[in-house]
Structure 1
Amino acid sequence: MRVLLLTLVLLSSSVTISANEQKLALIAHSGVDTHTLTRDTTRAIFAMRQRTWPDGQAVRVYVLPNDHPVHARFTKEQLVVYPHQLQLAWDRMVFSGTGQAPNRVNSQSEMLERIATTPGALGYLEREYLDERIQVITME
């Protein structure tokens, strides 16, 4: 009986933890014509290897700091890479002079504001931060 009770307590606490983690959304400026991206294209854009949207418009990439929990979740869950792997790719491009790092923002509120006001912008947020000024990009 105690084992059953302990199991129920552990299960309910794990459900509470996962319920507190909001689903993440890939977001873009409302003027972006692309509404769907593949995982590979999304990964290439965030790795700064692809600098334009499929229609040719310049992409302005925004990210949270490497140690931000939402950044870590986004890179691991959506891009299937670790934050330090992305940072290494950005550093390599910057130091070799072949590219630049993405724009960093300090909070999800700042991310929302930058995406909403920057044509061609792409970023990510927990769904609770979404509003009508930006669009959600579906990832295939």
Structure 2
Amino acid sequence: MKHLFLVAALLLSLPSMAEISVIVHPSNQAKIESTDIARMFLGKMKSFPNGGIVLPINLAEGTAPRKAFDKTVLKKSSSQIKAYWSKLVFTGKGSPPREVSNDAEMLELIKANPSLIGYVSSGSITSDVKVIATF
């Protein structure tokens, strides 16, 4: 019985361990480091390393991929990210990335605009976008 419980617990935790892929337009040739990705999504880096303007796009707050991205890539909880952006907005020093509601919307935007960077659950990837990192 104990083993059955452990197997069930493991299976239930699998969706929360799903990989996240950071994506850009296929034409983007910039060499982007993991630290650059975090800086882009925190408003500290406004262009790709090759000079092109960068516009980060977030998934909606509260979604599983967003929580995983905040924790894994930005190294902050969702509430810490919210507080971070509230402070920047209040002081006039920045505004948070635009949000989209799901992976399909993210993929459509990224494939249409070379300036965008975003992330989706790795299982959602299509050939219309380029994966630059997986977490």
**Structure-2-length-normalised TM-score:** 0.87
- Which has the higher mean CA deviation after the structures are superposed, 72-81 or 84-93? 84-93
Distance 1:139 1:50, change over 3 A: farther
* Deviation of the 1:35 alpha carbon: 4.5
- Which has the higher mean CA deviation after the structures are superposed, 29-38 or 60-69? 29-38
Matched letter for residue 22 of structure 2: L
2:40 matched to 1:65? no
2:24 matched to 1:28? yes
Q: Whose Rg is larger?
A: 1
Supply the distance in 1 between the matched residues of 2:9 and 2:72 (Cα, whole angstroms). 18
Identity of aligned residues (%): 22
**Structure-1-length-normalised TM-score:** 0.84
2:78 matched to 1:83? yes
SS in 2 for 1:79: coil
2:117 matched to 1:130? no
Supply the distance in 2 between the matched residues of 1:31 and 1:7 (Cα, whole angstroms). 52
- Cα-to-partner distance string for 1:83-114 (whole Å, 9 max, x where unaligned): 12222222222222222220110111111111
Q: Which runs of 5+ in 2 are unaligned?
A: none
In 1, are the aligned partners of 2:32 and 2:48 still within 8 Å (CA)?
A: no
Structure 1 runs (4+) greater than 3 angstroms displaced: 18-21
What is the correspondence of 1:95-110 to structure 2 with a 5 Å cutoff?
95-110=90-105
Partner of 2:9: 14
- Cα-to-partner distance string for 1:22-69 (whole Å, 9 max, x where unaligned): 31111111121125412x322211111111111111111100122222
**Could you say what the CA RMSD is over the residues aligned between the two structures, in angstroms?**
1.9
Distance 1:126 1:95, change over 3 A: same
